[in-house]
Amino acid sequence: MKQFLKYTLASFLALLLFFGGMFFLFVGVLSVLDKKPFVAEDNSMLVFDMSMNISDAPPSAEFADFMEEALGMGRVRSHSLREVVAAITAAADDDRITSLFLYGQFIPFEYGTGYAALLEVREALEHFKESGKPVIAYMKSPRIRDYFLASVADTLVVDPYGVIALNGMASQQVFLRDAMEKLGVGIQIVRAGDYKSAVEPFTRSDMSEENREQTRELLDHLWATILEPIGDGRGMEPAALQELSQRKGFFTAAEAEEAGLADRSGYFDEVQALLAEAHGVTEFRDVPQADFSAYLTSLKETPARAVRKGRKLAVVYLEGTIVDGEGARGEIGGDRFAREMRELRRDENVGAVVVRVNSPGGSASASEVIRREMSLMRERKPVVVSLGTVAASGGYWVATDADHVFAQPNTITGSIGVFGILPNIEKLSENIGIGWETVKTGPYADLFSITRHKTDEEIGLIQGFVDEIYEDFLIRIAQGRGLEMEDVRDLAGGRVWSGERALELGLVDEIGGLSQAIPLAAELGGLGPRWELYEFPRARGVAEILSEMLTDAPPGLEKQLRTTPLWQELQMLKSLNDSRGVHARMPYNLFLE
């Protein structure tokens, strides 16, 4: 009887907690769904809180994200690059908006908030200033990417106890060979390209000279593309900023003001007084304010216009690692993308396509599947490619068949090479007392087994296959870009380039971002002045998120680990799922501040 009462009480409490949780979730859902439409007042200040992630593709929330928002747990806001730029551009022409206040720190996630995307946001802010409306920025302790954007402001105020980072760019790479040897995990590699160093974390304990050379040159180019806009905003020469960077990595508020990095130091209440004065009122609370996210959402609620057949423009986002199959969050599934492209190709209402690439590459076979679909698309309608923060290896492979390719000066591109990783657990098995015996019909029946070391003959066979794939990669580029094969060989080899160098080498057609790619595609497609834009993959609605309530659990600790370099390197190894074991991927993960 005692046990019966105990289990009955436990069951009752469990049901009570479940239904109580469902009640609060229901209330939270209603609060999310019942948001009142935003209407900006006259003489409003647009408040741009940078505490967000800017993704290339429209953000698609997971169930855990929705739960956090519904229960008031303050999940990280995420907006797409296109809608952020569109909102700032609209505000420049909106008579109700008279100024813009910029503050906070970005919260990058996965492939979001990269420097190529921020450059496009910065250009939109410059357009806002050109409309005669001031931009005021308040920074506490901005990191480089925060300061890169804030430096566009007419007035930049830094907190008296804050510091401005101007310490340069660094790429720290993880090397796992020694750890794997201690664990008894062997790694054999095949690769094509002296600079194709994606395998180095698993085969070396330090950086090769080729990898160090290309990384240093790439960082120098990327750093220059950051210093130049900052210099334009602050009225300083890039060389002067570089001297400051080499003299001291960070500057206190007083030092920043003296060096010209900021206009003044001040507490937030002093900034509030400054903003109130600029709006002709005595109290900051009397300044009409338009929250950036709410303003952005109000623009998306504008009713769609009716357009004629063939007057749609599709923007398709390739953001993440390229993998075989459907792909998961943060991945580009070759089969899924190919299916979407086939549907768009057959849709007579779609007159042009823009493909936005933000990917370090991945599976060679999946990259070729995507390239093939883009090639078929081009036979029916124009295809314009916009390379984002990173478009390397397989991420560049997919762009070779396009009518026009844009890249930003700081786009990480190139890395034209392929590799294969062949792990084995032979020593690990010996260490823990596991033995393996194989019966086979031929000498190569267990060629891809992970239980033994590959022979020199087997490595030779696989190397020949990798060389063949590499040759195909070079041919794709030579044909697609109209280059001589020998010239392609010289710029390939797995080497990574900046967007500026890619333009000089003929790998891209023009410097520009998504804002330039879309109107060009509309022009090439002959869409005329009235057309509608559609984005793929589309953002999921609330109903789709709720349908996953019983199957998707909050990520917990995993969400924190995703931002660490070690996690990224292990995830890279996990995503190498090419059915033939050959990959076209960027040589490393660049963890750039």
The pLDDT value recorded for residue 111 is 87
The pLDDT value recorded for residue 110 is 84
Q: How confident is the model at residue 308 (pLDDT cuts 50, 70, 90)?
A: low
Phi, psi of 70 (to 5 degrees): -65, -35
Give the tokens for residue 338.
């190919």
State the Cα angle at 592 between 65 and 567, rounded to 5°. 55
What is 152-211 written as a DSSP string?
Answer: T-SEEEE-TT-EEE-----------HHHHHHHT-EEEEEEESTT--TTHHHH-SS--HHH
> How many Cβ atoms are within 10 Å of 192's Cβ, its own excluded?
24
Distance CA 60, CA 241 (A): 39
- The closest alpha carbon to 63, from 538, 544, 539, belongs to 544
Q: How confident is the model at residue 559 (pLDDT cuts 50, 70, 90)?
A: very low
Q: What would the pLDDT profile of 146-198 be if each residue is shown by its tens digit?
A: 999 999 999 999 999 999 999 999 988 889 889 989 999 998 888 887 777 77
The pLDDT value recorded for residue 419 is 84
Q: Hey, is 541 helix, strand or coil?
A: coil
Report the CATH fold assignment for 40-167+249-300. 2-enoyl-CoA Hydratase; Chain A, domain 1 (3.90.226)
Amino acid (1-letter code) at residue 333: G
- Active-site residue flag, 196: yes
Residue 322 has pLDDT above 50, yes or no: yes
Residue 292 has pLDDT above 90, yes or no: yes
- Active-site residue flag, 11: no
Active-site option among 393, 498, 515, 575: 393
Give residues with Cβ within 8 angstroms of 285, minimum separation 6: none
Is domain 312-585 annotated with CATH 1.10.260.40? no
Distance CA 36, CA 30 (A): 12
Residue 433 has pLDDT above 90, yes or no: yes
- The closest alpha carbon to 171, from 360, 320, 358, belongs to 360
Q: Which of 20-24, 284-288, 339-343, 453-457 has the lowest mean pLDDT?
A: 20-24
Residue 5 has pLDDT above 60, yes or no: no
Residue 590 has pLDDT above 90, yes or no: no
Q: What would the pLDDT profile of 341-400 be if each residue is shown by its tens digit?
A: 999 999 999 999 999 999 999 999 999 999 999 999 999 999 999 999 999 999 999 999
Looking at the chain, the domain(s) classified CATH 3.90.226.10 span: 40-167+249-300, 312-585
Active-site option among 44, 151, 171, 196: 196
